Amino acid sequence: MAKSQSTSELNTVMMRNTYKIEGKEGSSGSCFLIGKPLKTEANQLKLVLVTAAHVLEDMKGEEATIYLRKQQKDNSFVKIPYIIKIRQGNNPLWIKNNAGIDVAVMYISLPKDIDLQLLSTNMFADDKVLTDFEIHPGDEMVCLGFPFGAEANKAGFPILRSGKIASYPLVPTKENESFLLDFEVFKGNSGGPVYFVDSNRNYAGSTHIGKIQFIAGLVSKEHNVTETIKSLYEKKELTHPLALAVIIHASHILETIKQLPEEH
């Protein structure tokens, strides 16, 4: 169990809360941790690992390694490889979204001395948040991840990138399960969090002093165009990357977390 952390500076909190996850044979992706409030004690959170479903599906065997971090007395960080179980035999220990959306979640237990900036599920944006704050195409969002498994430094922190919302409409998210973000996706980015931070935003006809911040979703895949070329003797397909990311809405992450059994 853990307690919710302050969200005064979401960029740093999310940087410290995002990790590389690696399976056998070199498969890797990004994941982040979120706290599911207990029904009996709302200020107590159960650790939940969140990633794209295909990240775990592509990993072989029963175990994966998540690269945690530990803060030293001099405020430096060291990387800590930690093995977690993702299957029991052939049976996955994660829960995939019931509608088949590319989201997977699972309860996880970690060592007590690990650096962890845990946020509650109340940080996920729903349709009301997107509508009330008038989130729209052209708004910039931030994402964290490990492209091709690359890390920002030897402590294993993720790499921060950003892009503008490149599609419309965003809501209702029940019908629009994903949206496009204008940044180039590489293998290893999948599963990383996408979030929004803005100050003194103009919405509802006036400028509102203060900061707006929320988790908007996770990186699923790159958005490509497939070209079919036909000749008299053959047919082949060429894939053209568009430097666009497909982002699964946070509402679908939340509904997947709700599929987890209650923990007492």
- How far is Cα of residue 154 from the mean position of the Cα atoms in its chain? 22
From the CB of residue 16, how many other CB atoms can be counted at a distance below 10 Å? Answer: 19
Torsion sign, CA atoms 48, 53, 55, 61: positive
> Which three-class secondary structure state does DSSP give residue 12?
helix
Residue-range domain boundaries for the chain: 2-257
Q: Could you tell me where the beta strands, DSSP code E, fall in 193-234?
A: 193-199, 202-203, 206-207, 211-230
**Beta carbons of 18 and 159 less than 8 angstroms apart:** no
Per-residue pLDDT tens for 185-220? Answer: 999 999 999 999 999 999 999 999 999 999 999 999
Per-residue pLDDT tens for 146-164? Answer: 999 999 999 999 999 999 9
Per-residue pLDDT tens for 118-141? Answer: 899 999 999 999 999 999 999 999
pLDDT of residue 4: 47
Per-residue pLDDT tens for 12-43? Answer: 999 999 999 999 877 899 999 999 988 777 67
